[in-house]
Amino acid sequence: MFIGIDLGTSEVKVLLLDRDQRIVATAREPLAVSRPHPLWSEQAPQQWWDATCRALDGLAAAQPAALRAVEAIGLSGQMHGAVVVDAHDRVLRPAILWNDGRSGAECEELMRRAPRLTELAGNLAMPGFTAPKLLWLRRHEPEAFAQIATVLLPKDWLRLQLTGEKVSEMSDAAGTLWLDVARRDWSDELLAACDLHRHQMPRLVEGSEPSGRILPQWSRRWGIPRTAVVAGGAGDNAASAVGIGSVEPGQGFLSLGTSGVLFVCNDRFRPNPRSAVHAFCHALPRRWHQMSVMLSAASCLTWAARLTGHADVSAFLAHIDSLTPDAMHHAPLFLPYLSGERTPHNDPNASGVLFGLLNEHAAASVAYAVMEGVSFGLRDGLLALRQGGTAVERLSLVGGGARSERWAQLLADVLDLELVTHEGSEAGAALGAARLAWLSVGGDEAAVCRPPPVAQRWRPRAPEHRQYLMQRHERFRALYPALKRLNPR
């Protein structure tokens, strides 16, 4: 039996997996985000641990025999967050999260201080990454910065509580901007640019390797054997890839969650920072991946449904059924930059736009425009990946947005790719974490990481059907540069 723990932004999810690849049980505990100032996004790490304990308490009560059979635990988590602890492992301040935008000025400073940043880290400096957050702390909270003994990523702070070990792994460490991504090791040069040192970083393992063992007090509390290994694990996107079997070059997925992610596995380090493409290590040895990220995806539909007075997104999207093809062709255009944007613009100040509104447009036209605009943003990400040398012919579709067949078909048309969903794909990163736990105690990669069965499949429709989409996409791409200088942010 294997446990996967996924520390998300909105919840902690814990999953039990047996050796027949059957999900025995899951537990979820909600998390809250604090936004004390504009652009800020923080969480108290203690909240993560409390939620994890509640979830494991629930599983221990419901599945005591299964927990007694646990061989290993895997960890997955939200990337880029900065947890700073002192010499006594005390947390110095709330964790600054991946979607925190306060460090824009520090990104520019880091690019000046580390001329080889893109060469070594494979990425542009963006506020989401960990390194600019530490430069912000150095400037604005020097007392806390001076006390930092170790910087940990969110899931690695959970590991410290579980095992007493300060360890990270390659996929998550690559999202700090301190890793030499090609060499899969910390870069002293990049650390020095933030006035940090190697001894302030956790040691590194591969995601499929052991990182420690569960501490005795937690073994007693949950009935998990003291011999249970804790695997290196993965950042949430790499863990999701392991969960759906995207572990070989050319395999990938499209995630429609709060953010939108296009993830493709590579056999070597392939950076393309000019288009704000992320190049990271995969969670498995000798593999890397490229990723395009848009900061607002399914969350745009939630926003638009709320704005138009709809109780839920499904009811909002149902309006699209009433639209004729001609009405779709003449719908407004929507720029989905409600939280700024990463790929391809790298602009934290970008904002959302509904362009071309007319008196005859109703909720149906707005619903279509928002769904289409997010799809066009994902197409921009795919084009950026291809510019970086990545080839892909099929993507797995995951995340909450994958439940909409209407959206899935539109995405297949816009991306001109086959899309598939998998049975059990809702397990997401927690399943990938459990699989990495299995690998850490000798599991065979080909058997453990096989793709789950295909549940549904969507193929691009005929070119003449997509012609109007491509014409609208050209107008969509022209809007951002035309409006950027007028942006009040």
Q: Taking the C-alpha atoms of 365, 371, 374 and 378 in order, what is their torsion angle to the nearest 10 degrees?
A: -130
474 CB-near residues (< 8 Å, 6+ apart):
none
- Smallest CA-to-CA distance from 22 within 53, 51, 63 is with 63
86 CB-near residues (< 8 Å, 6+ apart):
92, 147, 148, 149
User: Residue type for 349, please?
Assistant: N
- Smallest CA-to-CA distance from 367 within 415, 316, 411, 436 is with 316
- Smallest CA-to-CA distance from 280 within 114, 111, 121, 76 is with 121
- Residues 418 and 438: their CA atoms lie apart, in Å, by 30
Reported as type and span, the H/E element at residue 2 is strand 2-7
Reported as type and span, the H/E element at residue 335 is strand 333-335
- Smallest CA-to-CA distance from 265 within 277, 247, 278, 286 is with 247
- Inter-residue contact 363 to 319 (CB < 8 Å): yes
Confirm whether 326 is a catalytic residue.
no
Task: State whether the Cα torsion 228-229-235-239 is positive or negative.
Answer: negative
CB atoms within 10 A of CB 60: 17
- Inter-residue contact 63 to 17 (CB < 8 Å): no
Q: How far is CA 192 from the centre of its chain?
A: 27
Distances (CA, A) of 54 to 16, 30, 163, 197, 228: 15, 10, 18, 36, 19
- Smallest CA-to-CA distance from 193 within 95, 80, 109 is with 109
Query: Is residue 79 a known part of a binding site?
Result: yes
326 CB-near residues (< 8 Å, 6+ apart):
none
Q: Which residues pair with 34 in a beta bridge?
A: 42
Which one is catalytic: 236, 347, 380, 413?
236
Structure tokens of 320?
């699209």
As annotated, the binding site for substrate includes 79-80
Give catalytic residues, as residue numbers.
Answer: 236
As annotated, the binding site includes 79-80
